[in-house]
Amino acid sequence: MRIEEHPILGAPQRGRLITFTYNGKPMEGYEGEPIASALRAAGVMVHRYSKKENKPRGIFCAIGRCTDCVMIVDGKPNIRTCVTPLTEGMNVETQYGISGKRKEGSA
């Protein structure tokens, strides 16, 4: 699910291939690309679940203006993954509600 060649922009410039984790699972992406891009390339569409209705959210604006792509990154919640560069060894987790992880016993 990556753009390999764009008719106007040509081939994308990429950093080196690195590893990170998504919910504890090892994954690969290109250094410096948005976290959201690496996740999308791996087929991950849901980044967080809304607080009130527990609805799934993913990339919406892709320019850092909404909050649909926020996730927990290296233990910090509310990180906009569409504008945050991927680095080696990052720990990326699905966010539940405003600031956290899924509570024990919840669906």
Residues within the interface to ligand FES (CB under 6 A): 59-62, 64-69, 80, 82
Shortest Cβ distance from residue 14 to ligand FES (Å)? 21
Shortest Cβ distance from residue 62 to ligand FES (Å)? 5
Of 2, 1, 41, 46, the residue nearest 23 (C-alpha): 46
Whose Cβ is closer to ligand FES: residue 42's or residue 62's?
62
Shortest Cβ distance from residue 83 to ligand FES (Å)? 6
Whose Cβ is closer to ligand FES: residue 26's or residue 48's?
48
Whose Cβ is closer to ligand FES: residue 18's or residue 39's?
39
* Interatomic CA distance for residues 39 and 48, integer angstroms: 13
48 beta partners: 57, 95
Shortest Cβ distance from residue 34 to ligand FES (Å)? 8
At CA 18, angle to CA 36 and CA 11, rounded to 5?
Answer: 65
* Interatomic CA distance for residues 95 and 51, integer angstroms: 10
